């Protein structure tokens, strides 16, 4: 420390050091709490076995459960068992979110059998799919592999298909996702803006206006970052035990997860990079006590989420297609909160 520092400057410096130590200690404590909260989550192998058992018990959901079992066997490092589960899902012929063949094809491409995977993808492309997530998933796969022409082909085909059939999912959000994916790929290829790109921009402006309409009135304190508050299931149970009145806001953990995913999705079209603030009851209490606010108020939870983001204790959204879901379920994002509803 410089000898020329005044007494007031030295005091401010020491205050900042104490604040830094407090924040680092809080970060470590919350990290330990989160680790405890997620320690009981099942492994990929356990989830695969659960889905295989569910497939045996529920014939109507057999194909869906087998397809999900395949993804977890892949995550568990069991490619042969993944192969068998995926093939069984396809053979069953029952409904699967997206298309059972797509998830198997992506598995093949990602696990060294690209020729077989691409052959299946070409078959699905020629037949046409009714679910936008098919085109989005394959387009993003090619985008990740730095194959923009192939990615653009899938995004454009998906747009044409969904406009022909009518987008009944997410109030037209599927059409927007494909259009913005197309725009993103075209920009990476340095292609000139066209009517489709302008339509995607127009939809983004509409989302901006819809989000602006939900913001607090001017003068009301609000977080400076786009972070979304989220209680893991065990923490939500603790919160409801401590504050029963919160049941008006959190009817179930499934609804809480779905609401968080919807909030995160609504921030993407406005150019934001959303963050998920994984909250704990203890952390919320400490924050509310320090701020002199009521922990049961939505404004307090929003401010706490912003504080977690400000101190580096939030995670980026969305995860990769094959990464574990942000909610802590140990499932792949595309088969959990990112699954089309």
Determine the average pLDDT of the residues in 264-285: 77
Cis peptide upstream of residue 318 (ω within 30 degrees of 0)? yes
Q: Is residue 21 part of a domain?
A: no
Q: Are residues 295 and 200 in the same domain?
A: no
Q: Are residues 139 and 101 in the same domain?
A: yes
Which two structure tokens, joined as six digits, stand for 63? 């194909």
Q: Are residues 91 and 235 in the same domain?
A: no
Q: Are residues 59 and 144 in the same domain?
A: yes
Domain of residue 61: give its range: 44-212
Q: Are residues 185 and 314 in the same domain?
A: no
Q: Are residues 190 and 84 in the same domain?
A: yes
Q: Are residues 186 and 277 in the same domain?
A: no
Q: Which residue has the higher pLDDT, 339 or 183?
A: 183
Confidence (pLDDT) at 269: 53
Please state, in angstroms and as integers, the Cα–Cα distance from residue 124 to each residue in 177, 184, 252, following that order.
20, 23, 37
Query: Which residue is associated with the tokens 């356990």?
Result: 46
pLDDT tens string 140-168: 899 989 999 999 999 999 999 988 887 55
Which two structure tokens, joined as six digits, stand for 49? 């076995």
Which two structure tokens, joined as six digits, stand for 90? 């396809």
Q: Which of 212, 241, 273 is the last residue of a domain?
A: 212
Which strands form 314-316's sheet, in the order they lie side by side? 227-230, 275-278, 314-316
Q: Is residue 17 part of a domain?
A: no
Q: What DSSP element (H or E) covers 181?
A: helix 173-188
Which two structure tokens, joined as six digits, stand for 27? 């970060």
Which two structure tokens, joined as six digits, stand for 266? 């609504």
Domain of 79: which CATH number?
1.25.40.10
Total domains in the fold of the chain? 2
Q: Is residue 18 part of a domain?
A: no
Reported confidence tier of residue 37, pLDDT bands at 50, 70, 90: low
Which residue from 81, 161, 89 is spatially nearest to 127, judged by alpha carbons? 161
Flag whether pLDDT at 216 surpasses 60: no
Q: Is residue 20 part of a domain?
A: no
d(Cα 285, Cα 292) in Å, to the nearest integer?
10
Q: Are residues 56 and 187 in the same domain?
A: yes
pLDDT tens string 85-125: 999 999 999 998 889 999 999 999 999 899 999 999 999 99
pLDDT tens string 42-81: 778 888 999 999 999 999 999 999 998 998 899 889 999 9
pTM of the model: 0.61
Q: Are residues 201 and 251 in the same domain?
A: no
């Amino acid at each position: 420390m410089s000898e020329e520092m005044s007494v007031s400057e030295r005091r401010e410096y020491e205050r900042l050091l104490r604040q830094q130590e407090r924040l680092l200690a809080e970060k470590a404590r919350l990290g330990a709490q989160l680790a405890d909260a997620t320690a009981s989550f099942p492994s990929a192998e356990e989830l695969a076995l659960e889905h295989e058992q569910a497939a045996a018990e529920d014939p109507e959901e057999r194909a869906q459960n087998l397809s999900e079992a395949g993804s977890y066997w892949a995550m568990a490092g069991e490619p042969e068992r993944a192969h068998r589960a995926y093939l069984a899902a396809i053979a069953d012929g029952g409904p699967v979110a997206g298309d059972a063949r797509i998830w198997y094809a992506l598995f093949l491409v990602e696990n060294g059998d690209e020729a077989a995977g691409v052959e299946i993808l070409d078959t699905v492309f020629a037949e046409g799919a009714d679910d936008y997530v098919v085109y989005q998933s394959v387009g993003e796969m090619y985008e990740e592999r730095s194959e923009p022409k192939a990615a653009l082909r899938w995004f454009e085909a998906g747009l044409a298909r969904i406009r022909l059939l009518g987008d009944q999912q997410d109030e037209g959000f599927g059409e927007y996702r494909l259009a913005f994916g197309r725009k993103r790929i075209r920009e990476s290829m340095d292609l000139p803006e066209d009517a489709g790109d302008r339509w995607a921009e127009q939809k983004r402006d509409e989302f901006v206006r819809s989000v602006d309409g939900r913001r607090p009135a001017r003068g009301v304190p609000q977080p400076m970052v786009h972070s979304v508050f989220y209680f893991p299931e065990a923490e939500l149970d603790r919160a409801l035990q401590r504050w029963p009145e919160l049941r008006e806001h959190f009817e179930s953990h499934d609804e809480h997860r779905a609401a968080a995913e919807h909030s995160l999705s609504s921030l993407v079209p406005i150019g934001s990079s959303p963050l998920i603030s994984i909250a704990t009851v203890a952390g919320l209490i400490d924050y509310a006590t320090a701020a002199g606010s009521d922990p049961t108020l939505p404004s307090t939870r929003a401010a706490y989420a912003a504080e977690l983001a400000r101190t580096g204790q939030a995670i980026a959204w969305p995860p990769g297609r094959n990464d574990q879901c942000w909610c802590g379920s140990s499932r792949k994002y595309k088969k959990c909160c990112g699954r089309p509803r």
